[in-house]
């Protein structure tokens, strides 16, 4: 069984966390068994290089929706993935708003950058793509971008779910059953809900319904940072019964026979 390793290049989310950079907004990098950059928000390329994670080794870029805190550095990673535009290479997955845009959303990729990608996959809930031997499935998200999706990645070591930005809705948990690690974008603390996003209370409900081996909460807004994500994670753990960790910038997780936090 091949281990999975991922790195949190950033754990901040939404407008004011992005503007202030109280937490980085670089998204998540899977570095084993394939190299996938998930939601490369502002600063992702900088934080990647600071950690010695060569962006030219990226095999795929996955963008969940067309909001800047999730896609701002996407084109830079496409250029890195294509070796500076010298070869057509790699996979890019995302919904319609990201790939082609519509009347309300411009694509986050120029025509030039689309031409650098070998495998460009427009996804909607239920669709799948392959990144090497890894299956990436799109899950439904309920957000301001009506095309927004989350992801479920199937590795030899087990499945990893990533909610992206979404509100709670009936049936959301069905998409993440039997995941080993569930990464939830929890913007706000308990008692402070906001449309199209998860609060700690929503996280408890999802974990009670999905029962993953571990949950990591990330993508924190300023209210969550003021409330202290570690305290909120402990509350989620206590109320759901599921081991829950608040992500920190540069945190690494290895998934093998067990899960280790670095």
Report the pLDDT averaged over residues 17-41: 97
170-205: string of b/e by CB count within 10 Å (b at 16+)? eebbebbeebbbbbbbbbbbbeebeeebbbbbbbbb
List, for residues 178-223, the tens digit of each pLDDT value.
999 999 999 999 999 899 999 999 999 999 999 999 999 999 999 9
Q: Which two tokens stand for residue 249?
A: 């910038």
- The answer, as to whether pTM is greater than 0.85, is yes
Q: Phi/psi at 198 (nearest 5 deg)?
A: -100, 145
Residues paired with residue 139 on neighbouring β-strands, in sequence order? 150
- Residue labelled with tokens 């408890």: 204
- CA-based torsion, 46, 66, 6, 12: positive or negative: positive
Query: Total domain count for the chain?
Result: 1
Q: Phi/psi at 223 (nearest 5 deg)?
A: -65, -40
Q: How confident is the model at residue 112 (pLDDT cuts 50, 70, 90)?
A: very high
* Contact between residue 59 and residue 35 where contact means Cβ atoms under 8 Å apart: yes
What per-residue confidence (pLDDT) applies to 234?
98
CATH code of the domain containing 169: 3.60.15.10
Domain encompassing residue 223: 4-261
What per-residue confidence (pLDDT) applies to 1?
80
Residue 178, Ramachandran bin (φ over 0: left; ψ between -120 and 50: alpha; else beta): left
pLDDT-above-70 percentage for the chain: 100
Q: Which two tokens stand for residue 35?
A: 């190299």
Q: Is the pLDDT of residue 170 over 90?
A: yes
Report the pLDDT averaged over residues 137-152: 98
Report the pLDDT averaged over residues 105-111: 94
Report the pLDDT averaged over residues 239-245: 98
CA distance 86 to 245: 40
List, for residues 147-167, the tens digit of each pLDDT value.
999 999 999 999 999 999 999
Chain mean pLDDT for the chain = 97
35-73: string of b/e by CB count within 10 Å (b at 16+)? bbbbbbbbbbbebbeebebebeebbbbbbbbbbebbbbb
Query: How many CB atoms neighbour CB 15 within 10 A?
Result: 12
């Amino acid at each position: 069984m091949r281990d999975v390793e991922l790195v949190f290049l950033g754990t901040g989310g939404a407008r004011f966390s992005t503007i202030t950079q109280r937490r980085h907004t670089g998204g998540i990098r899977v570095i084993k068994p394939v190299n996938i950059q998930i939601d490369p928000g502002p600063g992702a390329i900088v934080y990647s290089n600071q950690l010695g994670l060569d962006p030219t080794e990226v095999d795929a870029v996955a963008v969940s929706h067309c909001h800047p805190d999730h896609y701002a550095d996407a084109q830079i990673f496409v250029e890195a993935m294509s070796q500076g535009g010298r070869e057509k290479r790699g996979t890019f997955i995302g919904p319609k708003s990201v790939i082609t845009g519509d009347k309300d959303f411009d694509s986050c990729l120029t025509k030039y950058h689309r031409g650098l990608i070998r495998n460009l996959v427009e996804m909607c809930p239920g669709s799948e793509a392959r990144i090497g031997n890894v299956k990436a499935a799109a899950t439904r998200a309920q957000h301001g971008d009506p095309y927004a999706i989350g992801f479920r990645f199937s590795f030899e070591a087990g499945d990893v779910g990533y909610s992206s930005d979404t509100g709670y809705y009936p049936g959301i948990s069905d998409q993440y059953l039997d995941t080993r690690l569930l990464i939830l974008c929890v913007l706000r603390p308990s008692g402070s809900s906001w449309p199209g996003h998860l609060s700690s209370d929503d996280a408890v409900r999802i974990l009670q319904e999905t029962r993953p081996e571990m949950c990591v909460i990330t993508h924190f807004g300023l209210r969550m940072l003021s409330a202290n994500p570690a305290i909120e994670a402990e509350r989620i753990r206590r109320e759901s019964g599921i081991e829950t960790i608040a992500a920190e910038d540069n945190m690494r997780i290895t998934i093998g026979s067990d899960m280790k936090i670095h």
